[in-house]
Amino acid sequence: MKVVIQLRRMLFTLQLVMAGFLLSTSCNKQQQGDSQIASPDSSLSESAKSYLAVLAVKKDDLAAPVSGKKKLPSKTIKVQQVNRFSQISKTTEWKNAFEIQEKGITYLFVPVKEDIKPFTNKDFEFFRYLIFSRAGASAVSLSVIEVLGDKKYSFESDNRQIAITAFKNKTEGNTGNIGNTNAAVIFYNNDYKPTASFKLNNGAWSTARITFRSDLGIR
């Protein structure tokens, strides 16, 4: 009888030890999963704000001289260049920014505050991030990611994770799935010119020739 009781006690103790181990492992995995998103480093944030402020300054773009009619002097047409960063800089949400580390480079993701359905056609959802980066002591650089959901599609995943995975897919040449997302993804440089575009079809990632103007009403 004593042997049976001792065995039961040993089994109970073993169960407690295993439960503690599994709980610890689960917490560690959770922490590892969350560790890719970190609070912004103050120095990078300040540098990013200064960099965006420079980009947001409006400038006139001088077009090439246009020849006038006969006996009239040639003239230069002055065109006001649309500066999209000027508007975006007013609605950036620095308080909700976050950082990730990839291969020794720090990337700061800053969301732009806007209605999830900002367009004329409310069947479309949209979000955008400014992505600042700095490798070591180098200067700050900027790219932009815009994600436009398919018509009548609602984003189910965390927008941060969609943006991170899409960014990694683009920069590392990966094709990782992104949940069940259906959307168009476009990246822009610091001149707000498109550099790459992709399609998400039920989460499957593929390159695609896609264009849309997020500053215009999508109908």
| Model pLDDT for residues 63-92, shown as the tens digit of each residue | 445 444 455 444 444 444 578 899 899 999
Please tell me the distance from the alpha carbon of residue 90 to that of residue 131, in angstroms, as a whole number.
16
Distances in Å between the alpha carbon of 99 and those of 51, 74, 104? 17, 52, 12
At 219, is the secondary structure helix, strand, or coil? coil
Residue 165: pLDDT band with limits 50, 70, 90: very high
Q: Are strands 126-135 and 141-149 parallel, antiparallel or unpaired?
A: antiparallel
Of 216 and 84, which is predicted with more confidence? Answer: 84
Q: Quick check: 121 pLDDT over 90?
A: no
Please tell me the distance from the alpha carbon of residue 52 to that of residue 98, in angstroms, as a whole number.
16
pTM: predicted TM-score of the whole model, two decimal places:
0.73
pLDDT of amino acid 29: 37
| Lookup: tokens for 163 | 């943006």
